[in-house]
């Protein structure tokens, strides 16, 4: 039973680190695209996590990794996501 409790603690720590790294990746993507000032911290987390999945699916898992996310492909994926979302919402605002 002690092992199960230990595994739950590790899962929580991994999830918290994933959220933190996702927020940082999203913030970097916002800064690169000059769209970061309009994004809140929840949007940064979402952009970082989804962008990480996109980047790693397109580019693989190479380079340094943190919290299970390859940093460079994750940032590239988050930049792509922020640009696409910005274009979609920009088009909606014009209509």
Give this prediction's pTM. 0.74
Residue pLDDT, tens place only, 19-76: 888 888 888 888 888 776 666 778 888 888 888 888 888 888 888 887 778 888 998 9
* Average pLDDT of the residues in 83-93: 75
Q: What is the pLDDT of residue 66?
A: 77
Query: What is the rounded distance in angstroms from the CA atom of residue 82 to the CA atom of residue 90?
Result: 12
What does each C-alpha distance from 15 to 6, 41, 55, 90, 91 come to in angstroms?
Answer: 14, 16, 19, 32, 34
Nearest to 30 by CA among 88, 85, 91: 85
Q: What is the pLDDT of residue 61?
A: 85
Q: What is the pLDDT of residue 13?
A: 65
Nearest to 29 by CA among 66, 61, 71, 75: 75
Q: What is the pLDDT of residue 3?
A: 43
């Amino acid at each position: 039973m002690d092992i199960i409790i230990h595994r739950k603690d590790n899962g929580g720590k991994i999830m918290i680190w994933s959220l933190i790294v996702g927020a940082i990746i999203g913030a970097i993507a916002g800064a690169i695209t000059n769209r970061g000032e309009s994004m809140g911290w929840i949007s940064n987390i979402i952009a970082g996590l989804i962008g990480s999945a996109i980047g790693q699916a397109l580019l693989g898992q190479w380079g340094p990794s943190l919290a299970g996310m390859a940093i460079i492909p994750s940032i590239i994926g988050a930049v792509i996501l922020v640009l696409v979302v910005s274009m979609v919402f920009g088009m909606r605002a014009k209509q």
